[in-house]
Structure 1
């Protein structure tokens, strides 16, 4: 299975709050955000890990070049990366999609924080969902600490819709962990042709296109958008240790 990481944002809110490192190189529990994801993906039998970072932060591309050559802590990494600035996460996804054809893949943004044991169960569940004919298994959570959450409508754990507000009394919000089959790339291409630019519009388009999506509930999924989120993420990852 392939894994993909969107790491093309500039982390402007972190910078405004005094965090000098580019977001992929922000540390949580003494580990760079991008290294943490890559390590977890390797531990879940990644066939290839594709990453996009922007062309304005050379520290990140240099870090990835070093990893490509030397591995992660001496462990080889099946890494491929693109250096390109994009106007949105969906545009970044589109840039990566050429490498994601032909089989299932898992996509996330570089600042996504989750428990490693839950992610391992998620990967096993994704493989099972694909074998049952589903087009995707989306990571969701009932923990809401997001400025603009995307609510996920469900029937059982089958996904029925994505909403900007919670008028439908949804239990879950999107966690930004997307397990998808290659059919999703057709939907992505159509979104780009229509000039859409947000990942939530892509998710809604998956439903419009009749893709069968299932939800997988994580206890918490967090994003690191603000300096205080680093503290929250470290506290969350210490829970149960």
Structure 2
């Protein structure tokens, strides 16, 4: 393993540079992952502009292979060479996903099935977590293992966004009647995720009223927001 790696490092004033820096040193409960793919999220640029300080590595979502295992990681939990995906709080802490290697708590990575690519697995972090927080912490919706809200409506704006796609599927698992929006060309795609009704956001308000039967919503989720 090399001693250094390339990473996108914050330098202040809302900017960053590609730099050669030392590979992270593991704590006892972490694993070191060689990054094969990383995903972008709205939080990345927000963190860069509003919250970060010089010397931090950007990026939250990643997928790759386990390169090193901390001394206190339970035996068998992770294995060298294992394909995994995970999440870190890039930009806030020195460690981030936009690098050749990332150190992460072993509990915050999951194994990737053989039929899932690194690119697809890399988007499992922030978008999924955002929806879980919105649904289960804020809206108190039932999880897929709990009794469902049969027949109740939920409006998910922008069903084709990263969070929107998760939201449509999680809401359907909760037993909700899912109504969503998209561009005209993506209506069938959003329906394939489980949405009961999808309308073109460019259409007139009357079309939207037809979709919701002129009723108000008790729960609205915006798939564009993180």
Normalised to the residue count of structure 1, the TM-score between the two structures is 0.27
Q: Which structure is larger by alpha-carbon Rg, 1 or 2?
A: 2
Please identify which structure carries the higher helix content.
1
